[in-house]
Structure formats: C-alpha cells, structure tokens
Amino acid sequence: KGSSMSLYRYVAPKSTPAKPAGEWNQVEIACRGPHIKITLNGEVVQDVDQSQIDEIKGKPLRGYLSLQNHGK
C-alpha cells in the first residue's frame, strides 16, 4: 500500500512494472467518477471503483492529484 502506483496507504497496485532508476516511466491516470484506472508502462496496475473499497469510499471525487517520489 506504499509502493509505486499505490493509492497511498489504502490500495496496493496489482503489480509494479516500474523501470530501473535512470530510465523513463510512462504513467496514464484516469479518474472518472469513482472509477480510478492507472496504467504504468502499458500495464494496468490499478482499476478500482472507489465506492466499493471501504478505506477510500468516503474520499472526495474531485480535487487534486498528487504524485510523490521517495528517491533522487
């Protein structure tokens, strides 16, 4: 729940196909209503309905998207 492409602290990704340091990653994020879909390097890593997950069903459906990096 704290790795790349997780819904941080709440939902772990299905996989983590991140490229090694020094290589570029491509991320596509789609948020439509309660549906969240995240694709990393061509692989779907999140495909969830927010309204069906207890930890995030009360979260707003509008607002800001934040990306975080723990390295250099």
Q: pTM for the whole thing?
A: 0.86
Query: To 10 degrees, the CA torsion angle through 46, 2, 28, 70?
Result: -170
Count other Cβ atoms within 10 Å, centred on residue 72: 4
User: Over its length of 72 residues, how does the chain's per-residue pLDDT go in tens digits?
Assistant: 888 889 989 999 999 899 998 899 999 999 999 999 999 999 999 999 999 999 999 999 999 888 877 665
Q: How far are the Cα atoms of 14, 47, 63, 71 from residue 43, in angstroms, in the given order?
A: 9, 11, 25, 23
Query: Taking a C-beta distance cutoff of 8 angstroms, is the pair 65, 29 a contact?
Result: yes
